[in-house]
Amino acid sequence: MGKMNNLVVLSSDDEENERSLSSNRSYSKPKSRSLITRSNPNPRGAKKARISNSRSRLSKESSNVNEIGLLFDDFDEVFNGFKVSAGKRERVSGFGGSNANGLWVDKYKPRSLEELAVHKKKVEEVKAWFEERLRSSKDEFGPYVLVITGQAGVGKSATIHVIASHLGARVCEWNTPTPVIWQEHLHNSSAGITYTSKLDEFEIFVERIRKYGLIPSSSAKEPKSSKILLIDDLPMTNGKVAFGRLKKCLHLLVRSTQIPTAILLTDYGEADSADQTARCSEELKLYLESAGACKVAFNPITNNSIKKTLSRICRQERFNVTAEQIDLIANASGGDIRNAITSLQFCCLKPDPLRSLSLCDTTTTYLREKSDEISALDGEFSLKFGRDETLSLFHALGKFLHNKRETENAMALMDQDEFLLRDKFSRLPLKMDAPEKVLCQAHGQARPIADFLHENVLDFLCEEAIDDAWTMASYLSDADMLLATFRGMLTRYNEAENVLQTAAASVAVRGVLFGNSHPSPSRWHAIRRPKLWQVEQSSLCNKTEIVKRRFVGYSGLTLSDLSVVTTEYTPMLKWLGYGTSGGLETHQDLMQDNKTENNFDKMNLDDQQEIETTDDEIEDW
Amino acid sequence: MLWVDKYRPKTLDNIIVHQHIAQNLKKLVTEQDCPHLLFYGPPGSGKKTLIMALLRQMFGPTAEKVKVENKTWKVDAGSRTLDIELTTLSSTNHVELNPSDAGFQDRYIVQEIIKEMAKNRPIDTKGKKGFKVLVLNEVDKLSREAQHSLRRTMEKYSAYCRLILCCNSSSKVTEAIRSRCLNVRINAPTEEEIVKVLELIGKKEGLQLPSGFAALIAEKSNRSLRRAILSFETCRVQQYPFTSKQVISSMDWEEYVAEIASDIMKEQSPKRLFQVRGKLYELLVNCIPPEIILKRLLYELLKKLDAELKHEVCHWAAYYEHRMRLGQKAIFHIEAFVAKFMSIYKSFLIATFG
Q: Which residues of B touch A476 (CB under 8 A)?
A: 332, 336
C-beta atoms of B5 and A564 within 8 A: no
pLDDT category of residue A2 using cuts at 50, 70 and 90: very low
CB A20 within 8 A of CB A10: no
pLDDT category of residue B207 using cuts at 50, 70 and 90: confident
Q: Which of A262, A80, A235, A303 has the alpha carbon at shortest distance from A162?
A: A262
Higher pLDDT, A414 or A426: A426
Does position A567 have pLDDT exceeding 70, yes or no? yes
Q: Which range has the worst mean pLDDT, A350-354, A429-433, B220-224?
A: A350-354
Residue where one domain finishes, among candidates A385, A418, A445:
A385
Mean pLDDT computed over A539-546: 83
Q: Count how many domains chain A has.
A: 4
C-beta atoms of B292 and A563 within 8 A: yes
Does position B277 have pLDDT exceeding 90, yes or no? yes
CB A312 within 8 A of CB A110: no
B323 to chain A, any CB pair closer than 8 A? The answer is: yes
CB B261 within 8 A of CB B341: no
Q: What is the pLDDT of residue A225?
A: 55
Q: Which of A120, A152, A143 has the alpha carbon at shortest distance from A295?
A: A143
Highest averaged pLDDT of the listed ranges A7-21, A106-120, A265-279, B305-319: B305-319
For residues A374 and A406, membership in a common domain is answered with no
Q: Which of A203, A207, A209 has the alpha carbon at shortest distance from A230?
A: A209
How many helices (H) and strands (E) would you count in chain B?
15, 7
A585 to chain B, any CB pair closer than 8 A? The answer is: no
In CATH, what number does B252-353 get?
1.20.272.10
Report chain A's C-alpha Rg in angstroms. 30
Amino acid (1-letter code) at residue A556: G
DSSP state of B302: H
Residue A145 placed within a domain: no
Does position A10 have pLDDT exceeding 80, yes or no? no
pLDDT category of residue A559 using cuts at 50, 70 and 90: confident
Mean pLDDT computed over A194-208: 78
Fold agreement (B3-185, B252-353): no
How far apart CA A266 and CA A371 sit, in angstroms, is 41
Residue A272 placed within a domain: no
Higher pLDDT, A212 or A584: A212
Q: Which range has the worst mean pLDDT, A136-140, A474-478, B148-152?
A: A136-140
For residues A461 and A478, membership in a common domain is answered with yes
The helix/strand/coil state of A519 is strand
CB B78 within 8 A of CB A491: no
CB A343 within 8 A of CB A329: yes
C-beta atoms of A559 and B336 within 8 A: no
Q: Which range has the worst mean pLDDT, A571-575, A584-588, B134-138?
A: A584-588
How far apart CA A115 and CA B178 sit, in angstroms, is 80
For residues A398 and A480, membership in a common domain is answered with yes
Query: What is the pLDDT of chain A when averaged over all its residues?
Result: 66
Q: Which range has the worst mean pLDDT, A218-227, A249-258, B44-53, B174-183?
A: A218-227
The helix/strand/coil state of B39 is strand
pLDDT category of residue A408 using cuts at 50, 70 and 90: low
Antiparallel, parallel or unpaired: β B80-90 and B67-77 = antiparallel
Nearest by CB to A547, from B48, B87, B339: name it: B87
Phi, psi (deg, nearest 5) at residue A239:
90, 165
pLDDT category of residue B122 using cuts at 50, 70 and 90: low
Q: What is the pLDDT of residue B231?
A: 87
Mean pLDDT computed over B312-320: 95
Q: Which residues of B touch A575 (CB under 8 A)?
A: 234, 237-238, 249
Residue A164: its H or E element: helix A156-167
Residue A459 placed within a domain: yes
For residues A366 and A454, membership in a common domain is answered with no
How far apart CA A490 and CA B241 sit, in angstroms, is 60
Q: Which residues of B touch A489 (CB under 8 A)?
A: 145
How far apart CA B315 and CA A197 sit, in angstroms, is 61
Cis peptide before A521 (omega within 30 of 0): no
> Which of A:497-556 have CB within 8 Å of B?
531-532, 535-536, 538-539, 542-543, 546-547, 550-551, 553-556
Residue where one domain finishes, among candidates A385, A416, A432:
A385
Give per-residue burial for A389-426: e unless 16+ CB within 10 Å, then b.
ebbbbbbbbbbbbbbebeeeeeeeeeeeeeeeeeeeee
Q: Which of A499, A503, A526, A510 has the alpha carbon at shortest distance from A607?
A: A526
Does position A47 have pLDDT exceeding 80, yes or no? no
Q: Residue A574: give the domain boundaries.
A: 531-602
For residues A363 and A424, membership in a common domain is answered with no
pLDDT category of residue A548 using cuts at 50, 70 and 90: confident
Antiparallel, parallel or unpaired: β B161-167 and B132-136 = parallel
C-beta atoms of A477 and B89 within 8 A: no
Does position A316 have pLDDT exceeding 90, yes or no? no
Mean pLDDT computed over B197-222: 87
Amino acid (1-letter code) at residue A564: V
Residue B74 backbone zone (phi > 0: left; psi -120 to 50: alpha; other: beta):
beta
Residue A281 placed within a domain: no
Q: Which residues of A touch B54 (CB under 8 A)?
A: none
Start-to-end Cα distance in chain A: 50
Q: Which of A522, A582, A501, A574 has the alpha carbon at shortest distance from A547?
A: A582
How far apart CA B348 and CA B345 sit, in angstroms, is 5
The secondary structure of A541-580 as a DSSP string is HHHHHHHHTTTTGGGGSSPPPHHHIIIIIHHHHHHHT---
Inter-CA distances, A305 with A331, B190, B251, Å: 11, 86, 70
How far apart CA B115 and CA B76 sit, in angstroms, is 13
By C-alpha distance, the chain A residue nearest B285 is A539
The helix/strand/coil state of A271 is helix
Report chain B's C-alpha Rg in angstroms. 24
How far apart CA A13 and CA A9 sit, in angstroms, is 6
CB A309 within 8 A of CB A155: no
Q: What is the pLDDT of residue B265?
A: 92
Nearest by CB to B270, from A454, A465, A554: name it: A465
Q: Which residues of B touch A516 (CB under 8 A)?
A: none
Query: What is the pLDDT of chain B when averaged over all its residues?
Result: 85
C-beta atoms of B289 and A584 within 8 A: no
Residue A188: its H or E element: helix A182-190
pLDDT category of residue A336 using cuts at 50, 70 and 90: confident
For residues A6 and A104, membership in a common domain is answered with yes
Q: What residues form DSSP beta bridges with A267? A: A151
Higher pLDDT, A407 or B86: B86
Does position B6 have pLDDT exceeding 60, yes or no? yes
Mean pLDDT computed over B43-63: 87
CB B81 within 8 A of CB B50: no
C-beta atoms of B89 and A563 within 8 A: no
For residues A13 and A78, membership in a common domain is answered with yes
Q: What is the pLDDT of residue B40?
A: 93
CB B235 within 8 A of CB B242: yes
Amino acid (1-letter code) at residue A390: T
How far apart CA B105 and CA B96 sit, in angstroms, is 18
Q: What is the pLDDT of residue B312?
A: 93
Q: Which residues of B touch A466 (CB under 8 A)?
A: 268-270, 273, 339, 342-343, 346
Nearest by CB to B281, from A483, A531, A558: name it: A531
pLDDT category of residue A387 using cuts at 50, 70 and 90: low
The helix/strand/coil state of B246 is coil
pLDDT tens digits, residue range B152-170? 878 887 777 888 999 988 8
How many helices (H) and strands (E) would you count in chain A?
27, 6
Q: Which residues of B touch A576 (CB under 8 A)?
A: 233-234, 237
B127 to chain A, any CB pair closer than 8 A? The answer is: no
Q: What is the pLDDT of residue A475?
A: 93
> Which of B:237-256 have CB within 8 Å of A?
237-238, 249, 251-253
Residue B307 backbone zone (phi > 0: left; psi -120 to 50: alpha; other: beta):
alpha
Antiparallel, parallel or unpaired: β B94-97 and B132-136 = parallel
Give per-residue burial for A316-351: e unless 16+ CB within 10 Å, then b.
ebebebeeebbebbbbbbbbbbbbbbbbbbebbeee
Does position B339 have pLDDT exceeding 90, yes or no? yes
Highest averaged pLDDT of the listed ranges A11-15, A130-134, A570-574, B55-59: B55-59
pLDDT category of residue A494 using cuts at 50, 70 and 90: low
How far apart CA A448 and CA A456 sit, in angstroms, is 12
Does position A75 have pLDDT exceeding 80, yes or no? no
Q: What is the pLDDT of residue A556?
A: 63
CB A385 within 8 A of CB A328: yes
Nearest by CB to A566, from B5, B270, B286: name it: B286
Does position A582 have pLDDT exceeding 50, yes or no? no
Give how far B327 is from chain A: nearest CA, Å. 4
Q: What is the pLDDT of residue A389?
A: 57
- Where do the domains of chain B lie? 3-185, 191-238, 252-353
For residues A468 and A545, membership in a common domain is answered with no
How many degrees, rounded to 5, is the angle at CA A226 between CA A223 and CA A230? 145
Nearest by CB to B96, from A473, A532, A558: name it: A558
For residues A499 and A547, membership in a common domain is answered with no
The secondary structure of A98-139 as a DSSP string is S---S-HHHHT---SGGG--S-HHHHHHHHHHHHHHHHSPTT
Residue B182: its H or E element: strand B182-185
How far apart CA A228 and CA A214 sit, in angstroms, is 9
Give per-residue burial for A588-610: e unless 16+ CB within 10 Å, then b.
eebbeebeeeeeebebebeeeeb
- Under 8 Å CB pairs connecting chains A and B tally to 196
For residues A400 and A379, membership in a common domain is answered with no
Give how far B62 is from chain A: nearest CA, Å. 12
Amino acid (1-letter code) at residue B136: L
Q: What is the pLDDT of residue B38?
A: 93
pLDDT category of residue A258 using cuts at 50, 70 and 90: confident
Which class does domain B3-185 fall in? alpha beta
pLDDT tens digits, residue range B279-291? 999 999 988 889 9
CB neighbours of A367 closer than 8 A, spacing ≥ 6? none
Q: Which of A198, A197, A196, A204 has the alpha carbon at shortest distance from A253?
A: A204
By C-alpha distance, the chain B residue nearest A548 is B87
Residue A56 placed within a domain: yes
C-beta atoms of B331 and A535 within 8 A: yes
pLDDT tens digits, residue range A107-142? 888 888 878 888 888 888 888 888 887 776 555 556
Residue A378 placed within a domain: yes
| Residue of B72, B287, B320, B324 to mutate, interface with A, max A Cβ within 10 Å | B287
How far apart CA A229 and CA A264 sit, in angstroms, is 11
The size of chain B, in residues, is 354
Does position A378 have pLDDT exceeding 80, yes or no? no
Q: Which of A95, A75, A77, A78 has the alpha carbon at shortest distance from A87?
A: A95
Residue A288 placed within a domain: no
For residues A355 and A321, membership in a common domain is answered with yes
Nearest by CB to B137, from A479, A557, A559: name it: A559
How far apart CA B152 and CA B144 sit, in angstroms, is 13
A323 to chain B, any CB pair closer than 8 A? The answer is: no
How far apart CA B52 and CA B133 sit, in angstroms, is 12
Does position A315 have pLDDT exceeding 90, yes or no? no
The secondary structure of A300-334 as a DSSP string is PPPHHHHHHHHHHHHHHHT----HHHHHHHHHHHT
For residues A372 and A433, membership in a common domain is answered with no
Highest averaged pLDDT of the listed ranges A91-95, A335-339, B25-29: B25-29
How far apart CA B33 and CA B22 sit, in angstroms, is 16
